[in-house]
Amino acid sequence: MNEEISMNTESKVSDKAMIEFIDVHKWFGEFHVLQGIDLTVGKQERIVICGPSGSGKSTLIRCINRLEEHQRGRIVVDGIELTNNIKNIEKIRAEVGMVFQHFNLFPHLTIVENLALGPLWVKKVPKKEAEEAAMVYLEKVHIAEQARKYPGQLSGGQQQRVAIARSLCMNPKVMLFDEPTSALDPEMIKEVLDVMIELAREGMTMIVVTHEMGFAKSVAHRVLFMDFGKIVEGNTPVEFFEHPQHERTKLFLSQILH
C-alpha cells in the first residue's frame, strides 16, 4: 500500500470521549496482561495500536466489548460504564462492532443471512428490510455478487470484507479491528485495507490492532505502541514513526519496518 491517502487527521476529533480507560488492570491467572491502561478515544478518532505479541493489545480492545473482563479500573464506552451489569454490556455491544483476525463468519448461513442475523434478531427488523439493508452494505464492501454463497466458498479477503459489512449492519458507533489482515494472503490485504480506509473517510471511530504501518501512517490520528501490558508511547503518525521516544519503540519499529 504505497499511495499517500490524504486524510484530514487533524480535525474531526471532537472533545467528547467515545471510549475511556482509567487505570485498567487485567490478569490472566498470574499473568498481568494489562498494567494500568489510561486511554481516551474521542468521537471519530482513529487509533492504531501496535506492539509485540503478548503485549496486551488484543486484550485491550477485547475488554471494550466485554469479550474479556477487566479486574481493576474503569472502562466507559459512550458514557456507559462497563461493569457486570448485563444491560450495560448489551447496550455497549450494540454500539461497538468488532472484526476478528479469523473472520468468524457463521459457516452454516449464506452471506446475506450472516449480515441480516443481527438486525433481524437483536433489532427486530423485518426480514425483507434486514436483507435489503444487508445488500446495501455488501455493495459498500464490493461483494454484493456473493450474497447467496456460503462463507466456505469465499476467499479470505472476501470473508473479511463480509465480516466488516456484518459489523456495520448493526450501525455501531465504534469499530474495533483485531489484526484484521494478519490471516490474509498478501494479495488480499489491500482489498480489506481499502474498505477500512473508506470507513475511515466516512468518519467512523476506529481502533485497529495491526502491523500494517502504511495504513497507520495514512489513516490514524494516533499510533500507540504497547509492550508488556503498558502503553509505552503514543503520538501522531508522523511523530511516532519519525521521532520515536523510547528505546523499545525504536527497537520494535526497526524490526517491522524493513
Partner 1 sequence: MEQAVQAEKLRPPVTHIGVIGWARHNLFNGVFNSILTIVTLFFLWKVVPPLFRWAFIDSAWHTTGQACRKAAGACWSVISMNYRFILFGFYPYEQQWRPFLAMMILFGLLFYSRDRTHWKKPLAYAWIIGLFTMGLLMKGGIFGLPSVESTQWGGLPLTLLLAVFGLTAAYPLGVILALGRRSKMPGVKVLSIVYIELIRGVPLISLLFMSAIIFPLFLPEGVTFNKILRAQVAIILFTAAYIAEVVRGGLQAMSRGQYEAAESIGLNYYLTMRLVILPQALKIVIPPTVSILISAFKDTSLVVIIALFELLKTTQSVLSNPEWMGFSREAYIFVAILYFLGCFSMSNYSRKLERELSRRD
Contact residues toward partner 1 (CB under 8 A) are 65-67, 90, 93-94, 96-98, 100, 102, 104-108, 117-118, 121-122, 150, 152, 163, 166-167, 170
Positive or negative, the CA dihedral 4, 190, 139, 13 is: negative
Q: Which C-beta is closer to partner 1: that of 152 or that of 186?
A: 152
CA pair distance 226, 246, nearest whole angstrom: 11
Least distance to partner 1 from the beta carbon of 135, Å? 18
Q: Which C-beta is closer to partner 1: that of 86 or that of 257?
A: 86
Least distance to partner 1 from the beta carbon of 257, Å? 30
Least distance to partner 1 from the beta carbon of 61, Å? 11
Grid cell digits, residue 153: 466458498
Q: Which C-beta is closer to partner 1: that of 81 or that of 90?
A: 90
Q: Which C-beta is closer to partner 1: that of 1 or that of 94?
A: 94
Grid cell digits, residue 197: 480506509
Q: Which C-beta is closer to partner 1: that of 2 or that of 84?
A: 84
- First-to-last alpha carbon distance for the chain, in angstroms, is 14
- Which of 73, 82, 154 minimizes the C-alpha distance to 111? 154
Least distance to partner 1 from the beta carbon of 147, Å? 15
Least distance to partner 1 from the beta carbon of 195, Å? 18
Least distance to partner 1 from the beta carbon of 157, Å? 18
- Which of 182, 221, 204, 178 minimizes the C-alpha distance to 47? 221
Q: Which C-beta is closer to partner 1: that of 159 or that of 218?
A: 159
CA pair distance 198, 193, nearest whole angstrom: 9
For the beta sheet containing 174-178, the strands, ordered from the edge strand earlier in sequence to the opposite edge, are 96-99, 174-178, 205-209, 46-50, 222-227, 230-235
Grid cell digits, residue 43: 468521537
